[in-house]
Amino acid sequence: MIDHLQYNSNRNQLHIPEYGRNVQKMVEYALTVEDREKRNQIAELIIDVMGNIAPHLRDVVDFQHKLWDQLFIISDFQLEVDSPFPIPTREDIFSRPEPLEYPQNHPKYRFYGNNIKLMIDEAVKIEDQEKKNGLITAIANHMKKCFLNWNRDAVKDVVIFKHLKELSNGEIDIDPESKELRSASDLVQKRPKQQSNTKKHQKYAKHNRNRKRR
């Protein structure tokens, strides 16, 4: 009896472990069947077994298509049967997608963020002067807020206007004497100090004392 025991390390590697050893043995048997019609019948039976083993796949779009693809993966793409779906190849399943091209955008003033340049470009295109001025003012205030978040020291409006002119390639040139941005205190709100645990404990103890006196 002991002579017939087999360790998993001595067996063929499972291509999809979720289906277990028995499904793989069924597929390996199908590979030995020479009659194509009989092989097709066995493939259909294996698909039924796989569907019962993995009921969670029933919620997946193209449930049957996924099972047939997995059948060919288990057979190491050697099974020749009449599939109701296009037969995948090893390259189709395991090929790596082409790497995405990330925008190589290295702005000079990174504390403003990448989108500020897009906003400025859109503002330059606007023909309606009133809308254009409103958007430019909003952009300038946003730039000032970003600057203050990066550097808590006060920043003069003339610095923001200078950066705005530079980022717009000279298209937006604001006279510092004609426009004033929002104050730093309005743009950057100070966070309220959190109450210390000691003060919370004292407040809770005082509340309990008052309840006992009643």
- Assess contact for 39 and 80: CB atoms under 8 A: yes
Q: Are 76 and 139 within one domain?
A: no
Last residue of a domain, which of 94, 127, 144? 94
124 inside domain: yes
Q: Are 78 and 145 within one domain?
A: no
Specify the pLDDT at position 40: 95
Asked whether the predicted pLDDT for residue 185 surpasses 50, the reply is yes
Average pLDDT, the chain: 82
192 inside domain: no
Last residue of a domain, which of 67, 94, 121? 94
Cα 141 from Cα 181, distance rounded (Å):
6
> Number of folded domains in the chain?
2
Q: Are 14 and 50 within one domain?
A: yes
Specify the pLDDT at position 96: 78
Contacts of residue 139, defined as CB under 8 A and 6 or more positions apart, other chains included, come to: 116, 119, 120, 123, 164
Residue 147: which region, alpha, beta or left (left: phi > 0; alpha: psi -120 to 50)? alpha
Last residue of a domain, which of 46, 69, 94? 94
- The mean pLDDT of 64-86, rounded to a whole number, is 93
Amino acid code (one letter) for 115:
N
Q: Report pTM.
A: 0.45
Q: Are 180 and 117 within one domain?
A: yes
Within 13 A of 155's CA, how many CA atoms are on the CB side? 25
Say how many C-beta atoms besides its own lie within 10 A of residue 133's C-beta. Answer: 14
Range ranked top by mean pLDDT from 8-22, 23-37, 109-123, 169-183: 23-37
Percentages helix, strand, coil for the chain, rounded to the nearest 5? 60, 0, 40
Q: In terms of residues, how long is the chain?
A: 214
Separation in Å, CA 67 to CA 51, 136, 212: 7, 56, 70
- The mean pLDDT of 112-132, rounded to a whole number, is 90
- The mean pLDDT of 13-27, rounded to a whole number, is 90
Q: Are 7 and 86 within one domain?
A: yes
Q: Which of 53, 1, 64 is nearest to 24 (CA)?
A: 53
Specify the pLDDT at position 47: 94
pLDDT category at 150 given cuts 50, 70, 90 is: confident
Q: Are 90 and 8 within one domain?
A: yes
SS3 79: coil
Range of the domain at 156: 110-187
Q: Are 146 and 179 within one domain?
A: yes
Q: Are 63 and 114 within one domain?
A: no
197 inside domain: no
Cα 39 from Cα 27, distance rounded (Å):
10
